[in-house]
Amino acid sequence: MLKDLFQSPDYFQVDDLLTAEHLLVRDTVRQWVKKEISPIIEDACQQATFPSQIIKGLGELGCFGPTIPQEYGGGGMDHIAYGLMMQELERGDSGVRSTASVQGSLVMYPIFTFGSEEQKRKFLPKLASGEWMGCFGLTEPDHGSDPSSMITNFRDAGDDYVVLNGAKMWISNAPFAQIAVVWAKDEAGVIRGIIVERGMEGFTTPETKGKWSLRASATGELVFDNVKVPKANILPNVKGLKGPLSCLSSARYGIAWGVVGAAMDCYDAALRYSKERIQFDKPIGAFQLTQKKLAEMITEITKAQLMNWRLGVLKNEGKATPAQISMAKRNSCEIATKIARDARSMLGGMGITGEYPIMRHMMNLESVITYEGTHEIHLLITGQDITGLDAFH
């Protein structure tokens, strides 16, 4: 693989809006990605294996639960620092960012926000360090965009236990996770969060094979066949769909930042190539059609950087709404997907090889634009927010 020559675009001096701590966090993760991810990621994707050796480093960097308070092992950082971390990880690879997003936003966040003190003390420090990995089970084989129709359920089995049945599909980190935060209905049909631990009888996590996208992230099913789960593992402080949806808001926020990292990497690689590749006796960057692509890429990256920064400020102030987060997730995914495709075309035949990161980003982004709410669902969220009218049903 070629040396990682990435140089971050910052056309509107967005760095001036960041604090010294933000810059330090961002640059630390950036250097780590250059050293630990860039040299191995192409091979991991070609082999479709999750590079488990990176877990320790991600934990040490504080990428698992950066906004969780330090007393529970988290980073105690603000949301802009969290966003910048996700941007840098996804600049490396969307699968790496996904691993961190799931751990922080979809596993640690619900335990921290809805868990008992005992659950927080038992699980959070080990999850923050990466000693334990977690996954988040919401999607089912027959219920994706409409999770309220889920059929995974549990029934009471005496004073101490419930019995869980059902199946979840498309679950990131499932094949190796020690715990799963699972969303299931109780006997009254109310959605509850429940922590299922590897080793519980009747709980299996078969791996999903054959993906052409997010190949460095392990994906699997969660199958529950009469699994006896202690009642102490039920998250006590949330009932209903708002539990999983608030986790998704936190993860979507990270994605809004993350995919801009992937877009920046594609733009950077294409810009450099356009100055080096000679056709018709000129660098291809001298042709107007190429400049149009590059100019539009940097314009969209700049707009997304500014939107993310503003969203981060609102989130730090506790004012960011789920609909604003939806808009940013949707916008970032859209521009990143287009930038990856245009960048790929600019490299001609080289664009489809693993010599450059672009094709890998392009394929990864097809998952990212789909998970945590599809592109269509986020548009409907914005539509509902501005009109007050529900177009989902």
CA distance 288 to 291: 5
Question: Which amino acid is present at 362?
Answer: M
Which residue from 371, 112, 379, 152 is spatially nearest to 259, judged by alpha carbons? 371
CB-based burial, 38-58: b 16+ in 10 Å, e otherwise: bebbbebbeebebbeebbeeb
Nearer to ligand FAD, 28 or 374 (CB): 374
**Which residue has the CB atom at the shortest distance from ligand FAD?**
144
Closest distance of CB 80 from ligand FAD, Å: 25
Segment interacting with ligand FAD (CB under 6 A) among 107-115, 129-137, 149-157, 264-272? 129-137
Contact pick of 249, 305, 308, 367 for ligand FAD (by CB under 6 A): 367
Residue among 264, 253, 239 nearest 311 (CA): 253
**Which residues have CB under 8 Å from 125's CB, separation 6+?**
72, 73
Binds ligand FAD by CB under 6 A, chosen from 167, 214, 255, 381: 214
For ligand FAD, the closer of residues 165 and 374 by Cβ is: 374
Does the footprint of ligand FAD cover residue 138 (CB under 6 A)? yes
Q: Which stretch binds ligand FAD (CB under 6 A): 12-20, 86-94, 164-172, 234-242?
A: 164-172
Packing angle between helix 375-387 and helix 322-346, nearest 10 degrees? Answer: 140
The answer to whether residue 212 forms part of the interface with ligand FAD (CB under 6 A) is: no
Active site residue 221: no
The nearer residue to ligand FAD, 110 or 312, going by C-beta atoms, is: 110
222 and 135 Cβ atoms separated by less than 8 Å: yes
Q: Rounded to whole angstroms, what are the CA distances from 338 to 2, 139, 203, 260, 345? A: 24, 27, 40, 12, 11
- Residue 10's nearest CA partner among 87, 71, 98 is 87
Q: Which is nearer to ligand FAD, 8 or 367 (CB)?
A: 367
Query: Which one among 84, 100, 102, 177 touches ligand FAD, defined by CB under 6 A?
Result: 102
Residues of this chain that interact with ligand FAD (CB under 6 A) are 102, 135-139, 144-145, 170-172, 214, 219, 367, 370-372, 374, 376-377, 380, 392
Active site (catalytic) residues: 372
